[in-house]
Homo-oligomer: A and B are copies of this chain.
Amino acid sequence: MTSELLHPDRLFPVEPAVRQVAREIYQTIKALPIISPHGHTEARWFAENLPFENPSALFITPDHYVFRMLYSQGIPMENLGVPDASGATELNPRKIWHTFAQHYQQLYRATPTRLWIDHALHEVLRVSHSLNATTADQIYDEISHKLSTPAFLPRTLFERFNIEVLATTESAVDSLTYHQHLNQSEWKGRVITTFRPDSVTNPEHPDFQQDMQKLAELTGQDPHNWHQYLEALRVRRRFFAESGATATDHGFPTPYTTILSESQCQRFLTQALEGTLSAGEAEQFRGHMLVEMARMSLQDGLVMQLHTGSCRNHNAHVFDRFGMDKGCDIPRPVNFVEGLEPLLNDAGNHPELTLIVFTLDESTYSRELAPLAGHYPAMKLGPPWWFHDSPEGMLRYRQQTTETAGFYNTVGFNDDTRAFLSIPARHDVARRMDSRFLADLVCEHRMTLDEAIETAHDLTYRLPKEAYKL
């Protein structure tokens, strides 16, 4: 069954000799534990260990990869269970499932979403039929039933997926209740947090005022005072690190960095809290805060991640009705070579710092990111991100970065997902594509099979563990 719906050679190159080498490489990494150092699953799932709700709540409503494609073809979001500001939406999960099933085979053809969901359906949930309008009901019932059994509880799946460590992402002012709970529990699964301070370092973040207030309450520091504000951030970083975090993450519109004088910083902080910063000043404030974060990472050892280049909430109509993260964040051109210069000059020559940089602008792979990562000791290249976490995207990433940055200035794979059931699929796609890329190099006599196998192991397991200090 699986061999028809999920072919064992999927994604491998077609030429028989290369395919054979790709298979050999893949066999050596296929069963390695999953290292998931960056993502957006919820610690609550593993703390509470309650059954997942229903197939639609699992696959459709929370996954903007899924509903953006349906929306692009004219299907209203409210038909997909996405609640609008008034809370109104389709509430019948079976009806939502039908809408999805009807379009699944055609609209997602050749997309990574199709690869992930097929894997989740046929490998994780062991569904034995293709999903379409005819099978929708039967499959809905089958999944619903399975979700109610112990074998599909979050912790059981975590273990079945062979996850060695899973990182979630929490705001700097989060209480980390569920992580604390997990830390004190008997369960052996390792679910760690990541320090994400955007709502208190980006004056344009919708929660900035509210979260600065929380920051003050949580730390006893006065966020109106530049020194106390920095100290408050240090306190929270320490709390996150003590709770298990090994990394921070920063999601800003651009990779612009700058170094401001202390008095300038105090002035901008005051204005930020008054709500009187211009867009240009907010950019400067963010740019300086990235440098401060790098400096703090040098002190406390937290790995620093930088995700930039997304024009968030491009569609004002969708944002006003449905809020953030609804599929209308669009990449924009970015300039790392000028943007990161101040930060890299300040902290980039320290091998003790690890700065992992991600991009949505593939034109920067060969032009900017690989040359920078191939020079600065602190800088590493994050894996292909978001729209580029796909077979072709992964190939372009390796083809355009490897010759300049090598393999050892990269950090393995990130699944970056909210969809827990897609985790094994996503790591499997990455392992297959790395095997494929390496198999080509072996067959073109650019490396030996032994070297390829060592590299594959490093990309899958050693590099992410080392880069993220796991």
Q: Is the CB of B331 within 8 A of A368?
A: yes
Q: Is the CB of A314 within 8 A of B344?
A: yes
The count of residues in chain A whose C-beta lies closer than 8 Å to any C-beta of chain B is 89
Query: Per-residue 0/1 for A404-417: is the Cβ within 8 Å of any B Cβ (1 yes, 0 no)?
Result: 11111100000000
Query: Per-residue 0/1 for A367-399: is the Cβ within 8 Å of any B Cβ (1 yes, 0 no)?
Result: 110111111110100000001101111000001
**A446-B110 contact given A14-B15, A368-B331, CB 8 Å threshold:** yes
Report the nearest B residue to A12, measured CB to CB.
B444
Find A361's partner among B17, B344, B367 (CB 8 Å cutoff). Answer: B367
Report the nearest B residue to A400, measured CB to CB.
B392
A180 interface contact, C-beta 8 A = no
The interface residues of chain B lying within 8 Å CB-to-CB of A333 are: 333, 335, 363, 367
The interface residues of chain B lying within 8 Å CB-to-CB of A465 are: none
Q: Is the CB of A74 within 8 A of B377?
A: yes
Find A406's partner among B111, B402, B446 (CB 8 Å cutoff). Answer: B111
The interface residues of chain B lying within 8 Å CB-to-CB of A17 are: 14
Query: Per-residue 0/1 for A429-470: is the Cβ within 8 Å of any B Cβ (1 yes, 0 no)?
Result: 000000000001101111100010011000000000000000
| Stoichiometry (number of copies) | 3
A181 interface contact, C-beta 8 A = no
Nearest Cβ in chain B — how far from A146, in angstroms? 25
Report the nearest B residue to A18, measured CB to CB.
B14
A308 to B330, CA, bound (A): 19
A366 interface contact, C-beta 8 A = yes
A105 to B400, CA, bound (A): 20
- Which residues of A in the span 131-181 have a Cβ within 8 Å of any Cβ on B? none
Nearest Cβ in chain B — how far from A7, in angstroms? 4
The interface residues of chain B lying within 8 Å CB-to-CB of A392 are: 399-400, 402-403
A2 interface contact, C-beta 8 A = no
19 residue pairs from A and B, CB less than 8 Å apart: A12-B444, A68-B375, A109-B406, A109-B407, A110-B441, A112-B403, A115-B446, A311-B338, A315-B348, A318-B349, A330-B368, A330-B372, A331-B371, A361-B363, A362-B366, A366-B393, A370-B387, A391-B403, A391-B446
| 8 nearest A-B residue pairs (beta carbon) | A74-B351, A7-B445, A10-B445, A390-B403, A14-B443, A363-B363, A331-B367, A74-B377
Beyond the given A14-B444, A328-B375, A332-B338, please list 18 additional residue pairs across the A-B interface where CB-CB is below 8 A.
A10-B446, A14-B440, A72-B377, A73-B408, A107-B408, A109-B406, A109-B451, A110-B446, A111-B404, A112-B403, A314-B341, A314-B372, A315-B344, A315-B348, A315-B376, A331-B367, A331-B371, A392-B403
